[in-house]
Amino acid sequence: MSRLTVLHFPDPRLRKKARPVAAVDAQVRQFARDMLETMYAENGIGLAATQVDVQQRVVVMDLSAERNEPLTLVNPEIMEKSGTEEMEEGCLSVPGFTELVQRAEKISYRYLNLDGEEIEAEADGLRAVCIQHEIDHLDGKLFIDYLSPIKRRRVRKKIEKQNKIRAL
């Protein structure tokens, strides 16, 4: 198992678009284990491959209180969206910031599990938000992209200041 490095905004690699996984093999299963280790270590409830500088369409998540219900989504796709809802979002790649983001309230989605089987499911609430948040990552999109330009500029300035202090 390996803990991976999570990229931080404004790293341009966070803007890369991930490519579909051709086959769910042992390498993909090992990568998913490494992503889960990293997600738990960083106290996230989700993580996308783009965030660890891998341009493959792989997402991991665990919404359980006991942190013992890991889920890996390979080549996740949202099939249908309905309703709208606002939720406070944060991101492991934009540390220290949370903002209200409007997203679809309910989604139907499909993905490949680690056995390569196609799964179709529906979600609402935090699970729907998390899946939309992570699939955005695979497309190079961050939750701060939904903010006003003024708010987004404020986030960028604060993080660049944080990064300068870290570099001292």
> What are the residue numbers of the active site?
134
d(CA 67, CA 162): 30
Tell me, residue by residue from 86 to 105, as one string, x for binding to Zn ion by CB under 5 A and - for no binding: -----x--------------
43 versus 115: smaller Cβ distance to Zn ion? 43
By CB under 5 A, tell whether 112 contacts Zn ion: no
Question: Token pair 């001292």 is at which residue?
Answer: 168
Among 24, 47, 49, 155, binds ligand K2U (CB under 6 A): 47
Tell me, residue by residue from 55 to 84, as one string, x for binding to ligand K2U by CB under 6 A and - for no binding: ------------------------------
Nearest Cα to Cα of residue 107 among 136, 145, 142:
136
- Residue 15 — left, alpha, or beta (φ > 0 → left; ψ -120 to 50 → alpha)? alpha
The 3-state secondary structure of 26-83, one letter per residue = HHHHHHHHHHHHHHHHCCCCEEEHHHHCCCECEEEECCCCCCCCCEEEEEEEEEEEEE
Tell me, residue by residue from 130 to 159, as one string, x for binding to ligand K2U by CB under 6 A and - for no binding: x--xx--x----------------------
Query: Total residues contacting ligand K2U (rule CB under 6 A)?
Result: 18
Q: Give me the least distance between CB of 7 and ligand K2U, in Å please.
A: 10
